[in-house]
C-alpha cells in the first residue's frame, strides 16, 4: 500500500510537469525550466556517463546468468563465465548496430516477438500456479540499443568496464542513487516553480502536499542509499558532481580564463582528430571484411 501511494504520488507530480511544460526532453526539460541549466546538464551527464551504461551492464549480466546457469544446475554458475557470456552478448549487439542499423532494427523486432512468446509461456503457468495457491516472482529484463554509432562506441567500453568490476545489485544501487536524486530535484523544482510563477498555466495541478511529501521521501531514499551502501552511492554522487566542471568548460565558457579556453580547445581538437582516425580505420576494416 505504501509503495502504491508513493508511486501514484510520483505519477501525479510528473503528470503536472508534463502538462505544464509541453516540450520533449523529459527530466532535462523539467529541470531546465524549474531549476536552471546546471541541474539539467548534470541530468544528461549522469545519464550518458554511468546510468545508461550501468543499466545496459546489469541487463547484460542478467542475460549471461540466464544463459549459463542452466548448464551448471544445481551448482552455481562460474562468475567469470557469466561475465564472459555477457560481454560477448553486448559485443554482438554493438557490432550489429555498427554494421547495419536496419539489420539491428529487424533483429529487435524478432527479439520482441520472442519476448512476447516467452512472456506467454511464463504468465500462463504463473496464473495457474497462483490459482492453486502458489506465488512466484517473475523477473524479465530486456534491452534494445538504437543510439548513433559514436554513442554506441563510446558506451561500449564503459559497459565492459562496469561488467568486469561490478555485480548486478551493486550496479542497480549505483544507478538508482542518481535516478532518485534527479526525481527528487524534478519535483522540488516543480514546487519552486509554483512559488516563483504562480500564473504559469497548469492544466493539471495536484495538491501541494503531494509533491512535498513525495520529494521528502525521495531525498530520504537518496540519504538512506548513501548510508547503506556508501561505496557505490558515493561513487555515483562523485560522478554526478564531476559534471560541474565539464558544464563550465563546455557550456559556460564566459566564466573560464582565456588561457584555459585555449588549452581546452587544443585538447578537444586533438581528440576530434583521433576519433576521426579511429572512425576511418573502422570503416576501412569493415569495407575489407565485406
Tell the residue number behind the cell numbers 539491428, with chain if given. 104
Least confident range of 64-68, 140-144, 280-284: 140-144
**Distance in Å from the first CA to the final CA of the chain:** 58
Instruction: Name residues whose C-beta falls within 8 Å of residue 95's C-beta, 6 or more positions apart in sequence.
Output: none
CA dihedral 67, 70, 71, 75 (to 10 degrees): 120
- Tens of pLDDT, residues 200-212: 888 888 898 988 9
Alpha-carbon Rg for the chain in angstroms: 23
Instruction: Name residues whose C-beta falls within 8 Å of residue 236's C-beta, 6 or more positions apart in sequence.
Output: 46, 50, 174, 175, 177, 178
- Tens of pLDDT, residues 246-256: 888 777 766 55
Q: Quick one: CA dihedral 211, 214, 217, 222, positive or negative?
A: negative
Per the prediction, the chain carries an average pLDDT of 76
Check: CB of residue 77 under 8 Å from CB of residue 213.
no
Is the pLDDT higher at 137 or at 101? 101
| Exposed/middle/buried for residue 43 (C-beta within 10 Å: 0-12, 13-18, 19+) | buried
Work out the average pLDDT over 48-55.
80
What cell was used for 234? 558515493
Q: What's the pLDDT score for residue 216?
A: 92
Check: CB of residue 51 under 8 Å from CB of residue 179.
yes
What cell was used for 268? 578537444
| Residue 136 scores a pLDDT above 60 | no
Query: 52-72 and 79-99 are packed helices; what angle lies between their axes, rounded to 10 degrees?
Result: 130
What cell was used for 21? 511544460
Work out the average pLDDT over 261-285.
63
pLDDT tier for residue 138 given thresholds of 50, 70 and 90: very low
Q: What is the pTM of this model?
A: 0.64
Instruction: Name residues whose C-beta falls within 8 Å of residue 142's C-beta, 6 or more positions apart in sequence.
Output: 59, 111, 115
What cell was used for 127? 496464473
From the CB of residue 251, how many other CB atoms can be counted at a distance below 10 Å?
Answer: 12
What is d(CA 56, CA 138) in angstroms, rounded to the nearest whole number? 20
- Tens of pLDDT, residues 140-170: 333 343 465 566 666 777 777 777 776 767 7
Query: In whole angstroms, how far apart are CA 117 and each of 109, 128, 137, 143?
Result: 13, 17, 18, 16
pLDDT tier for residue 187 given thresholds of 50, 70 and 90: very high
| Residue 278 scores a pLDDT above 60 | no
pLDDT tier for residue 188 given thresholds of 50, 70 and 90: very high
What is d(CA 84, CA 70) in angstroms, rounded to the nearest whole number? 16
Query: In whole angstroms, how far apart are CA 108 and each of 55, 101, 141, 149?
Result: 18, 10, 14, 17
Q: What's the pLDDT score for residue 131?
A: 59
What cell was used for 113? 516477438
Q: What's the pLDDT score for residue 139?
A: 36
Amino acid at each position: 500500500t505504501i509503495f502504491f501511494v508513493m508511486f501514484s504520488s510520483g505519477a501525479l507530480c510528473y503528470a503536472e510537469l508534463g502538462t505544464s511544460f509541453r516540450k520533449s526532453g523529459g527530466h532535462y526539460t523539467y529541470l531546465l525550466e524549474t531549476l536552471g541549466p546546471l541541474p539539467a546538464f548534470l541530468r544528461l551527464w549522469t545519464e550518458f556517463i554511468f546510468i545508461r551504461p550501468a543499466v545496459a551492464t546489469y541487463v547484460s549480466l542478467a542475460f549471461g546468468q540466464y544463459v549459463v546457469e542452466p548448464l551448471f544446475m544445481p551448482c552455481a554458475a562460474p562468475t567469470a563465465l557469466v561475465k564472459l557470456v555477457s560481454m560477448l552478448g553486448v559485443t554482438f549487439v554493438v557490432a550489429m548496430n555498427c554494421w547495419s542499423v536496419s539489420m539491428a532494427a529487424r533483429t529487435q523486432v524478432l527479439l520482441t516477438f520472442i519476448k512476447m512468446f516467452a512472456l506467454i509461456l511464463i504468465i500462463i503457468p504463473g496464473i495457474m500456479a497462483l490459482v492453486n495457491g502458489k506465488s512466484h516472482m517473475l523477473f524479465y529484463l530486456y534491452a534494445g540499443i538504437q543510439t548513433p554509432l559514436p554513442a554506441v562506441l563510446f558506451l561500449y567500453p564503459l559497459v565492459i568496464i562496469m561488467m568486469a568490476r561490478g555485480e548486478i545489485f551493486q550496479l542497480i544501487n549505483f544507478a538508482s542513487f542518481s535516478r532518485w536524486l534527479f526525481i527528487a530535484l524534478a519535483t522540488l523544482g516543480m514546487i519552486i516553480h509554483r512559488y516563483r510563477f504562480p500564473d504559469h498555466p497548469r492544466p493539471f495541478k495536484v495538491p501541494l502536499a503531494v509533491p512535498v511529501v513525495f520529494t521528502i521521501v525521495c531525498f530520504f531514499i537518496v540519504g538512506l542509499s548513501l548510508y547503506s551502501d556508501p561505496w557505490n552511492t558515493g561513487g555515483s554522487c562523485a560522478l554526478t558532481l564531476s559534471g560541474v566542471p565539464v558544464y563550465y568548460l563546455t557550456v559556460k565558457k564566459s566564466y573560464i580564463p582565456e588561457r584555459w579556453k585555449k588549452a581546452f580547445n587544443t585538447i578537444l581538437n586533438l581528440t576530434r582528430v583521433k576519433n576521426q582516425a579511429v572512425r576511418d580505420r573502422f570503416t576501412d576494416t569493415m569495407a575489407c571484411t565485406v
